[in-house]
Amino acid sequence: MCGRKKDRKSLNRRVLVAGFTTRHVACSAHGAGYRVCTVDHFCDRDVSRYADDCLSFDDPDSLPAAIEQMSVRHDCDIFVPTSGAEMLAVGIPRYGPAPERAATFLDKSLTSRFFLETGVPVPATFPERTYPAMVKPRSGSGGWRNAVLHNDDEWLKWKEDLADPPALWQEVVQGTPASVCCVTDGTHARAVAVNEQLLRGGEDAAYGFSGSVTPFIHPHVNEMVSHAEKIASASGCVGTIGVDFVVGEKPYVIEVNPRFQGTADTVEMATGINLFSLHIDACEGRIPEKMPEPRQFAARKILFARDDLLVGHDVSSLSFVADVPWKGSVVEKGGAIVSVYGWGPSRRDAILMLDKHISTVQQYIGRTS
């Protein structure tokens, strides 16, 4: 599933990718011709296809030591942070937003203020205990802790379940979750793809990210691209960043992801570009002249465990899966198991193939959600 665009400048350059999950970045970097090492919470089965070495870590506090250990093992030329590593200072040339720039977009209240100052449409911010409201922890990614609350009982339960985090309260806006993948050199930006985002739904982690479809076809796409390029240009970030939307009667800007996004796979599959190459170019001051045209529709769905699961089969030989767990590993209820893909000349064709592939995978791993 890696986009490929090998060039001479990648030869013999080693990239250290670090964060909670790195497979999508390692895949793209490998496709661009770089040698790759990763520090990753999972070190999934298929990471070994793309990385010369992978070191796992248990919790965020142990991530810096794991990065230091990998730096001792290998001389790395480039450091690319993913989720959880955006704020870390590492003694390797950093290709991605500086920690102080990333900090703005890792705090949802600061991000909302940035949107207002930038002049893009954003959901209104509410005082605490104004109902109904979309309530989000100010920090954290993936959306799995976000919830629409309707009364004090729901608020008290939310606080108890999440250990009472500082929160942002916002207007509830209706529409389709979507995003724009951009690359930026710090002052200029170019949209690369517009994506529909798939959410988990259900009662638990209803707003958690669970996949994407690229491209997203909607009457407001041009407005989304305009807002996203304006935001990325003003952000002070470099490299690839994602701008999240809820698209209803108009596109509301929701968040900025100052790192490689979970939509990277479908962006590459749909457009044929290599996102890592564009990321490196942008960090070195070069961005595309125009947005690439999609060649097909691509869909990705993350499957989650309905119950505690012992992985009894190795599905890495299947050509339409990624983020493959090791045989014998345990996935707790609600945990991500594997990613599955579909593609085709239309959204319908891509989703039909995706559903067929999910049925095949479920024959090996059992019930999923």
pLDDT tens digits along 225-266 = 999 999 999 999 999 999 999 999 999 999 999 999 999 999
46 and 186 housed in the same domain: no
State both tokens at 96: 């991605």
Q: Which of 235, 252, 283 is the last residue of a domain?
A: 283
Q: In the structure, how many helices (H) and strands (E) does the chain have?
A: 10, 17
> pLDDT grade, residue 187 (50/70/90)?
very high
201 and 254 housed in the same domain: yes
239 and 207 housed in the same domain: yes
Assess if residue 290 is contained within a domain: no
CATH number for the domain spanning 246: value is 3.30.470.20
211 and 336 housed in the same domain: no
Q: Which of 66, 95, 124 is the last residue of a domain?
A: 95
In this structure, the dihedral spanned by the alpha carbons of residues 105, 107, 112 and 113, taken in order and rounded to 10 degrees, is -90
Residue 312 has pLDDT above 60, yes or no: yes
Assess if residue 292 is contained within a domain: no
108 and 228 housed in the same domain: yes
Distance linking the first and last C-alpha atoms of the chain: 23
Domain residue limits at 19: 8-95
Q: How, if at all, do strands 189-199 and 209-214 pair?
A: antiparallel
Assess if residue 303 is contained within a domain: yes
Residue 57 has pLDDT above 80, yes or no: yes
SS in 3 state form for 28-72?
Answer: HHHHCCCEEEEEECCCCCCHHHHCCEEEECCCHHHHHHHHHHHHH
The strand order across the sheet containing 53-56 reads 53-56, 35-40, 14-19, 78-81
Q: What mean pLDDT comes out for the span 269-289?
A: 98
Number of domains in the chain: 3
90 and 112 housed in the same domain: no
Assess if residue 2 is contained within a domain: no
SS in 3 state form for 287-332?
Answer: CCCCCCCCCCEEEEEEEEECCCEECCCCCCCCCCEECCCCCCCEEC
Assess if residue 318 is contained within a domain: yes
Nearest partner of 29 among 59, 7, 61, 57, judged by Cα: 7
264 and 321 housed in the same domain: no
Residue 4 has pLDDT above 70, yes or no: no
> pLDDT grade, residue 365 (50/70/90)?
confident
- Can you tell me the distance from the alpha carbon of 253 to that of 235, in angstroms, rounded to the nearest whole number? 14
Q: Which of 283, 310, 333 is the last residue of a domain?
A: 283
58 and 175 housed in the same domain: no
CATH number for the domain spanning 20: value is 3.40.50.20
Q: What mean pLDDT comes out for the span 125-133?
A: 97
Assess if residue 288 is contained within a domain: no
Assess if residue 201 is contained within a domain: yes
Phi/psi of residue 28, each to 5°? -70, -40
15 and 42 housed in the same domain: yes
**How many C-beta atoms surround the C-beta of residue 131 within 10 A?**
15
164 and 235 housed in the same domain: yes
Q: What mean pLDDT comes out for the span 267-277?
A: 98
226 and 112 housed in the same domain: yes
Residue 166 has pLDDT above 90, yes or no: yes
**What is the reported pLDDT for 142?**
85
Containing H/E element for 233?
helix 221-234
Three-class SS state of 181: strand
276 and 315 housed in the same domain: no
Q: What mean pLDDT comes out for the span 142-163?
A: 95
Containing H/E element for 364?
helix 347-365
DSSP structure class, residue 334: T
